[in-house]
């Protein structure tokens, strides 16, 4: 964990897909700032348990919940479990996501539907379940992708479309939740070194050459922006899509 500070002290955060990669960096960062953090996983049970232990040993509070984002009932159940455990919900991070790079004429409709279910429908379902429970100062942070606006990789159209949909949803829900004093924003990462997109992976040389800073980002660099958006300092930012992408050349 980072050095502890108390900027999120007393807050309850919920992060989807929090056991590894970008999600785990956000969970660690929020916990290190004093939030009680519930997070979901679908397959990474051991990593989820290890992360909870790590946070508890550092004096933090964390709860891992198995919930498949493709299952709306499970997503809504995870929100309910978080509120049961911590009494409240202040910060929601929709991070869980899948990629499926495949020529458009070979992708099955089942694969297309799975991308939509995890990357887009679950985002709406989470906010639908959590929004009514949230109060002034609440924060919704969606993890979109720079691929909503920039697409150098062939076969990535369906993934890109789900992320563009998240940006559109963000603008709409920012209006809907504004009367409650809850902000809704999307972070659009560029290439980040994770299991999904390893810096040594098949797209590395193509992609890194299109990033002004000439490198992949780190999960902690997305967590930094999430921590800022979660903080009181970001109270006048809503409906925004914020690129954290090392300056991709669009």
Ligand X SMILES: NC(=O)c1ccc[n+]([C@@H]2O[C@H](COP(=O)([O-])OP(=O)(O)OC[C@H]3O[C@@H](n4cnc5c(N)ncnc54)[C@H](OP(=O)(O)O)[C@@H]3O)[C@@H](O)[C@H]2O)c1
Q: Of 132, 117, 124, nearest to 68 (Cα)? A: 117
CB 166 within 8 A of CB 123: yes
Work out which of 60, 131, 189, 246 binds ligand X, going by CB under 6 A. Answer: 189
Active site residue 216: no
Segment 138 to 177, residues that bind ligand X, using CB under 6 A: 143, 145
The three-class DSSP label of residue 36 is strand
Q: Does 246 engage in binding with ligand X (CB under 6 A)? A: no
Total residues found in the chain within this entry: 250
Greatest extent of the chain over all pairs of C-alpha atoms, in Å: 51
Q: Which stretch binds ligand X (CB under 6 A): 19-27, 52-60, 103-111, 226-234?
A: 19-27
194 binds ligand X (CB under 6 A): yes
How many CB atoms sit inside 10 A of residue 54's CB? Answer: 16
Residue nearest ligand X, Cβ-based: 97
Helical (H) or strand (E) element with 142: strand 139-143
Tokens of 81: 């479990």
Scan residues 207-226 and list those touching ligand X (CB under 6 A): none
Q: Rounded to the nearest whole angstrom, what is the least distance from the CB of residue 236 to ligand X in the complex?
A: 25
Q: Binding to ligand X (CB under 6 A): which residues in 62-121?
A: 68-70, 95-98, 118
Of residues 41, 104, 159, 228, which has the active-site annotation?
A: 159
CB–CB of 15/95 below 8 Å? yes
Q: Could you tell me the sign of the dihedral formed by the alpha carbons of 250, 169, 234, 237, in that order?
A: positive
Between 12 and 160, CB nearer to ligand X: 160
Q: How far is the CB of 105 from ligand X (least distance, A)?
A: 23
Please list, in sequence order, all residues whose beta carbon lies within 8 angstroms of the beta carbon of residue 43, skipping any fewer than 6 positions away: none
Q: Given candidates 8, 14, 34, 41, which one binds ligand X under the rule CB under 6 A? A: 41
Report in angstroms how near the CB of residue 9 gets to ligand X at its nearest: 25
The residue ranges that bind ligand X (CB under 6 A) are 16-17, 19-23, 40-44, 68-70, 95-98, 118, 143, 145, 189, 191-192, 194-197
């Amino acid at each position: 964990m980072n050095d502890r500070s108390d900027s999120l002290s007393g807050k309850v955060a919920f992060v989807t897909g929090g056991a590894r990669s970008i999600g785990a960096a956000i969970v660690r960062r929020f916990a290190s700032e004093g939030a009680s953090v519930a997070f979901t996983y679908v397959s990474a049970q051991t990593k989820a348990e290890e992360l909870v232990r790590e946070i508890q040993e550092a004096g933090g509070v964390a709860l891992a919940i198995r919930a498949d984002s493709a299952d709306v009932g499970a997503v809504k159940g995870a929100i309910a479990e978080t509120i049961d455990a911590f009494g409240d919900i202040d910060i929601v991070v929709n991070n869980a996501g899948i990629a499926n790079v495949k020529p458009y004429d070979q992708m099955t409709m089942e694969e297309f539907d799975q991308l939509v279910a995890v990357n887009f429908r679950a985002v709406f379902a989470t906010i639908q379940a959590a929004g009514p429970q949230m109060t002034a100062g609440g924060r919704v942070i969606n993890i979109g992708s720079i691929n909503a606006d920039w697409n150098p990789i062939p076969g990535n159209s369906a993934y890109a479309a789900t992320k563009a949909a998240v940006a559109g949803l963000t603008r709409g829900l920012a209006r809907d939740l504004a009367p409650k004093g809850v902000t809704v924003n999307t972070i659009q990462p560029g290439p980040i070194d994770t299991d999904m997109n390893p810096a040594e992976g098949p797209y590395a040389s193509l992609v890194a050459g299109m990033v002004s800073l000439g490198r992949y980002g780190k999960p902690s660099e997305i967590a930094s922006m999430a921590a800022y958006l979660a903080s009181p300092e970001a109270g006048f930012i809503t409906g925004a899509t914020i690129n954290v992408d090392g300056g991709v050349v669009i």
